[in-house]
Structures are given as C-alpha cells and as structure tokens.
Amino acid sequence: MSETITISVDAMGGDNAPRAPLHGAKLLLREHPDARFIFHGREEVLTPLLEEFSELKPVSQVRHSENVITMDDKPSQALRKGRGTSSMWAAIQSVKDGEADVAISGGNTGALMAMATFCLRTMEGISRPAISAIWPTLRSDIVVLDVGATIGADAQQLVDFSILGAALARALFDIESPTIGLLNVGVEEAKGNEWVKDAGKILAETSGAGFTYKGFVEGDDLGKGTVDVVVTEGFTGNIALKTAEGTARQVGTYLRNAMTSSLMSKIGALFARQALGAIRSKMDPRTVNGGVFLGLNGVVIKSHGGTDEIGYKSALSVAYEMARNDLLAKIGEGMKRFPALALPAEPSNLEAPSA
C-alpha cells in the first residue's frame, strides 16, 4: 500500500452531485491528509467547483466524461450507454488500471453493480458479488450482506457471501474468527426455505475455518448485534436496510417533536443537550453511509444517491478504510481458507436492483 490513498469518484452520480461528492471529499481530506482524488464527470462543471473547494485542488484531478448514467437507466442499458464513456465507468476503470485504490459512486445501484462486475470481474471462486453494509447495533458495528446485489441467492451464493462477510469483518474489526448467522424467519433448524437450510448445513460443517457459524438469526438480532456477520439475499437485505433507515428517521422525528412540545420539554432538552446530540448522531443514517461491493477484483463503494456532503463524507471514509486495510488482499487470504466451499464462478447476470 502506498503512502497515499487515491479514491476515484463518479462525481456526477447522485441527486446532489457534483457538489455533495466534492464537499464530502473536502471534509474527508481534513481528517485524512494523505487522501487523493480523481473526479470523473463534466469538466466544465467540476473545474469551477474545485476552485470553490480550493483545499482539494492540490490533491485532485478532473477527468472529463460527457456521459452520465441516470437513475432510470436499467443495468443492461447503462452498459450499452456508458461503457467506456460515462463518469461511472471511468471511475471503475481507474481502479482496474491501477490509478486508484478504490472507486465510489452515488449513482444508479444496478448500473454500478453491472459496470463493476463487467469491468473488474468476480474473484475466482465467487459466483456472484454482494453489497455489504456496516450496521450499527447495541453491541458494536457488524457486517450485513447482501443488501441489494443478488435477488434470490441460492445456497452456494449464501456461502460465498459468508466467506466475503467474514473477510470484511476481519479487515474492519480485527476479529480472527468472526461469528456468522443466516437471516431467517426463526432460529429453529426446520424453519426457512431450502436454500437457507442447505447453506446452514454447509456452514455448520466447516465452522472454525476462519469463522464461527452461530446458526439462524432473526430480524431483531440485527439491532442486538448477536453475530459479527449477518448473511441474507439481496431482496430481503435491501428491505431490511431501508426499513432500519426509515425507522431511525421516524424515531428521530418522534424524539425531536417530544423535546419541543412544551416549555418544560424544551428546558429538559436544554439540560440533556449533550446526550440528545449523541443519540441524534447515532441514529443519523448519513453516518453509516457506504455499501461495499464484495467479490470483485477491485473495491467499489456505493453511496446513497440522495445523501448530502455529510453522508458522502461517510461513504468516502468507508472507501478510505477499505483501501487502507487492503481489503482485497484480506479477502484473497480468506478465500484460501475455504477451498472446499469455493465453486467455479458462474457467468454473472448483470441485472440488479436500481435502488
């Protein structure tokens, strides 16, 4: 790993682009002066913004890309439209070419996954990539995957996700043998669909080879932090993620309304200002923004499309940490521990959700 970390940014991806990506990069640079940036997008738009965020100028490059992938583009359409010409493709290509350590985009999720899979290809032994989220819990942060890449994963894909999730947990949390649970409708072995039960049997037989399988977990275990890695398929995982984010906003609104409902409430809120600030920060979805694409020959981060500079800075922080912790090498090391689990990778279906 070099002394600097270079982040390749699709500066045109997201509802608040390109201002949010550049402003977020400015905030990241204040914490990590060794960060460097390559911003991909329309030069006539990005160059004036870089003048505005002058701190970024000495550590940034602007690469012109005329084409921009929209949120309405289907993955297959995005590939035809933007391969080799779009800011999203260019951001990923910089990682493939070795110019950058990691790529990030707040654009169309399905298009980003399709382009990343097509450009970087899946790692040997991994059938499909996954999107993982760093999930805050009552115990500590955990890894949850897949949260939107693969809809209806089979048993082998769930095992693949377990391998990838364990490797990410080791890289992030410095845990030698992360605990893994399969998300299910109950903890009893007889419950769930056949592919979840089959995946559970495989993981139970190989538990101890770099991870500890704890069996099935339920939805409330996500908040408890029962295990270090929760594994599910993309449909369920994406719903769980969006539900958790919506619930956090709902509770935050309830709390804010309660603290301003009367004069006595306002006085009480004044005395509890520090504690309330900590709660508000903990429940702010922007502070845990950034999904990690796992299983590719390169690191790609997905930021929420509608986030502001605070959320984008959080996603950039995830990108920085993934590169600094040499995630790809640690995943490769983890794969060597599971030779019996790894099957030849199948051709990827590039259709993915556009959430």
- Encode the chain (355 residues) as per-residue pLDDT tens digits: 568 999 999 999 999 999 999 999 999 999 999 999 999 999 999 999 999 999 999 999 999 999 999 888 888 888 888 888 899 999 999 999 999 999 999 999 989 999 999 999 998 878 788 999 888 888 888 999 999 888 888 998 999 899 899 988 887 888 888 999 999 999 888 888 899 999 999 999 888 877 899 999 999 999 899 999 999 998 999 898 888 878 877 877 877 787 778 877 777 766 666 665 665 666 566 777 888 999 999 999 999 888 999 999 999 999 998 898 888 887 777 676 665 454 444 444 444 444 4
Residue 320 and residue 269 in one domain: no
Split into its structural domains, the chain has a count of 2
**Residue 209: domain span:** 153-283
- The count of C-alpha atoms lying within 13 angstroms of the C-alpha of 248, restricted to the half-sphere facing its C-beta, is 20
* End position of a domain, from candidates 253, 283, 313: 283
Q: How far apart are the first and last CA of the chain?
A: 33
Are residue 204 and residue 228 in the same domain, yes or no? yes
229-231 β-sheet, strand order: 60-64, 35-41, 5-10, 102-105, 300-302, 291-294, 130-135, 142-145, 229-231, 179-183, 212-217
This prediction's pTM: 0.83
Cβ contacts of 218 within 8 Å, gap of 6 or more: 183, 184, 185, 186, 187
Task: From 66, 110, 112, select the one nearest 88 (Cα to Cα).
Answer: 112
Token pair belonging to 23: 């402003």
Residues 56 and 117 in one domain: yes
With b for 16 or more beta-carbon neighbours within 10 A and e for fewer, the 171-197 pattern comes to bbeeeeebbbbbbbeebeeeebeebbb
> Which of 232, 255, 283 is the C-terminal boundary of a domain?
283
CA angle 239, 7, 105 (to 5 degrees): 35
